[in-house]
Amino acid sequence: MKGFALLIFALGSICVEAYIVNPGPKYVATKGAVWPKPQEQELFETFFTINPAAFKFVVDSSTCNILYNAVRRYEEIISNQRLSKLKKKQSKHIVAAPDDDDRYLGQIDQVQISLNEICDDTSYPAFQADESYSLNIAIEESTITARTVWGVLRGLETFSQLLYTGEDGSSTRVNATKIRDFPRFPVRGLLLDTSRHFIHLAQIYQLLDAMAYNKLNVFHWHIVDDQSFPYVSMKFPELSELGAYNSVEFVYAPDDIKAVIEYARQRGVRVIPEFDTPGHTRSWGVSHPELLTPCDDIEEGSFGPMDPTKDSTYSFIKELFSELRALFIDPFIHLGGDEVDFDCWELDASISSFMTRENIRNYSGLEGYYIQKVIDIADELNFNSIVWEEVFNNGVKLPNETIVHVWRDWEGNYWNDTMRSVTKAGKKALLSACWYLDHLSTGGDWEKFYQCEPTNFGGTPEQVSLLLGGEACMWSEVVNDYNVVQRIFPRASAPAEKLWSAYDAAEPDLDEVARRLEEHVCRMNARGIPAQPPTAAGFCL
């Protein structure tokens, strides 16, 4: 009995120990750390103060609306810091650092912006645009220098992140710093699905702001799918009139899309539409059932993928895509091509006869036949194509400009095999397999996203050079206006840093990363982005 009591006491002690927690946040946030981490940064202990309410950026060359708007935007971000608001209530002046602190170098009133190229208001962020910049905060002068306006945008974001509250609790400080920075990959994207749940423009604008704060540069707009067709076509208005959840409230008119493209452009973000076919097209068939394959043998009144045997199918797609070409500025379009269910094709006698005539041996080959025709249509309209990996796996002859988007990760590291195959064939690739934001787990799941190294797929240096970057994907089955932004950020911040910052062969110091992410989340919150807490217990001022 005595032994039993001792055992119970011991077990109780173990349980108690398991719940002992220290007060305070799990990770103490950094101060003035940049996210994503710059390629090269020399950070000094000496520091300056600034008055957020009076601070200015000064452009020393010809400007344009993109640069002018960015300067005003970041001046407002800086002046609206909580510290500035508090001090306005308490004093007319920001309290300077103590004169007896030998690290203090004085106050900075402005940072000079030097743009090497002419800033053109007709330009849009382009594939492989130069986003490099240099930033110098020193006694002699403080400057942001870049060849293009897109590099200036990234430099402005970095400077805004260098500011922090001083140890005195009253001053806004910035350490003396030298930075030379540029992205590791040209494509750093976020996919948003707006079909499963409609996402209003206000949330899309929030996401574009957050993308700029994380130096993401491609908004992949998965605009339609099986469930709804919210795109308002001028040539085929019936697609949204009958296929959207609500043809008035839950649709994107051309002016809405133009507004999103312009909002993104001002932040250095490309907008690439995806119109996924031949699968994921049930909403198309509400108004145009002739486009789809009847599937009455499986369920009365049901339909499968698009019918690839009809010339009228391709004529319809060409007309729709010609409209998209005039509306969307970016030269790339995502053609989809994933998850095509062959059951309805297999049951259709006319499709079987067509395959016999065309000597198509299997249904993967039939999908390849369809995709090849759609790629040719896109090419004729001066679109460059992006396709999901199934298109490559089915043997479609892809033009050199076509990019293969690798997404499947069924066996843990399955994507490694696919990436090797794609790049061995000389095709350019994007990775999303390990960055699916709709796959949820408990707090801190950004760590698994951060630990995915996109180049570790076992390819040669030549194969690795064909990897253009990647995208974090938010499919919207369980997100809507009320939770989409916080589900995406800060979880998408992890791939954002992996795709921007320099490769490091060592295991990441996740404690150091977590401390920087804590600060970055608070920074986004202060700017109106409802990013969720990244890991565990903590707080933001």
**Could you give the residue numbers annotated as active site?**
339
Residue 318 neighbours by CB under 8 Å, 6+ apart: 377, 380, 381
Please state, in angstroms and rounded to a whole number, the distance separating the CA atoms of residues 495 and 278.
Answer: 30
- SS3 for 463-474 is HHCCEEEEEEEE
Give the three-state DSSP class for 334. strand
CA dist 210 and 238 (Å) reads 34
Residues 56/58/62/63 CA torsion (nearest 10 deg): -20
Contact 431, 389 (CB under 8 A): no
Please give the Cα distance from 283 to 181 (Å, whole number). Answer: 45
How much of the chain is in helix, strand and coil states, percent to nearest 5? 35, 20, 45
List all residues 6 or more positions away from 461 whose beta carbon is below 8 Å from its beta carbon: none
> Residue 115 pairs with which residues in a beta bridge?
146
Alpha helices in 381-528 (DSSP H): 389-393, 414-424, 446-450, 461-464, 484-488, 493-500, 510-526
509 strand-pairing partners: none
b/e sequence 377-397, b meaning 16+ C-beta within 10 Å: bbeeeebbbbbbbbbbbbebe
